[in-house]
Amino acid sequence: MIQSAHSSTDKSISSQWDAIATYPRSNVCRLLLLAFAAMTLVGVACGTSDGTGSETNLPPVQDPIATGAPAFIPVDHAADFEVSTPSHGVFNLDRLEGRPLVLNFWFPSCPPCRAELPDLQAAYEAHADEIQFLGVQLLGLDSAEEGQEFLDELGIEYPSGADTDNQMVRDFKIVGFPTTIFIDSDHNIVKKHAGILSAGSLEALINSTVVPASTPVDVSGS
């Protein structure tokens, strides 16, 4: 986990984000990719291939393996959003009331995103009854149509839609792809991981952040 230790570093990251957020949307994608390479605290410009990445959360309060309970204090309340998906309709926080959410930001031209999506599909198949999975495609480098073709090619069945005007990228301050955000049933952000997640790491984070407390925790192979 990478956390800022100095206020000067925090200000630098904040100013970089402000520049991205206010830049004209037609150039958001290019500016994002250039900014990522300059951010030493975020070594995941379009992710990494070894399962590592940067994480945002407050210190763990208990051991999820020992207790089977959520391990992380909420970071912040999730910003409201609206994502239109071709086969599952429109998603927003009202529709997801009382339901945990795994929110994955990706785009087709990102090789680590391609590597990670099958593991997200497998996690969706294992947890669909208790957790909502939702993909959010960055627009600009690829079109929404190209994104859907990409998902069909990989056999991805959980809902996914394009981020219109890249508004969610700004609201959730996404600074690397892929990024996965774990949101609890009260719609608090519990953890934010920038970079590719292995199948085992993804399952461990799901179990320790958003799986309902009454659900048995299976940590085998993680």
Q: With respect to residue 1, please indicate whether it lies within any of the assigned structural domains.
A: no
3-state secondary structure of 88: coil
pTM (whole model) above 0.75: no
- Summarize pLDDT for 78-97 with one digit per residue, the tens: 888 999 999 899 998 888 88
Q: Can you give the CATH number for the domain in which 138 is found?
A: 3.40.30.10
Q: With respect to residue 77, please indicate whether it lies within any of the assigned structural domains.
A: yes
pLDDT over threshold 90, residue 15: no
Tell me the pairing of strands 160-162 and 179-183: unpaired
Strands (E), the chain: 54-56, 76-77, 83-85, 89-91, 101-106, 132-137, 160-162, 179-183, 188-194
Say which residue, 22 or 111, is predicted with more confidence. Answer: 111
Going by C-alpha positions, the residue among 127, 107, 135 that lies closest to residue 210 is 127
User: What are the φ/ψ torsions at residue 69 (nearest 5 degrees)?
Assistant: -115, 160
CA gap 140, 45 in Å, rounded? 16
pLDDT over threshold 90, residue 135: yes
Q: With respect to residue 38, please indicate whether it lies within any of the assigned structural domains.
A: yes
Q: With respect to residue 138, please indicate whether it lies within any of the assigned structural domains.
A: yes
* pLDDT (0 to 100) of residue 160: 96
Q: With respect to residue 222, please indicate whether it lies within any of the assigned structural domains.
A: no
Q: How many domains does the chain have?
A: 1
Q: With respect to residue 221, please indicate whether it lies within any of the assigned structural domains.
A: no
* pLDDT (0 to 100) of residue 73: 58
Q: What is the mean pLDDT of residues 149-156?
A: 95
Q: With respect to residue 91, please indicate whether it lies within any of the assigned structural domains.
A: yes
Among 10-19, 75-84, 126-135, 142-151, the minimum mean pLDDT is found in 10-19
Structural domain boundaries, residue 188 = 7-209
Judged by phi (left if over 0) then psi (alpha if -120 to 50, else beta), residue 209 lies in alpha
- Summarize pLDDT for 93-129 with one digit per residue, the tens: 888 888 999 999 999 999 999 999 999 999 999 999 9
CA gap 85, 162 in Å, rounded? 8
* pLDDT (0 to 100) of residue 53: 56
Q: With respect to residue 45, please indicate whether it lies within any of the assigned structural domains.
A: yes
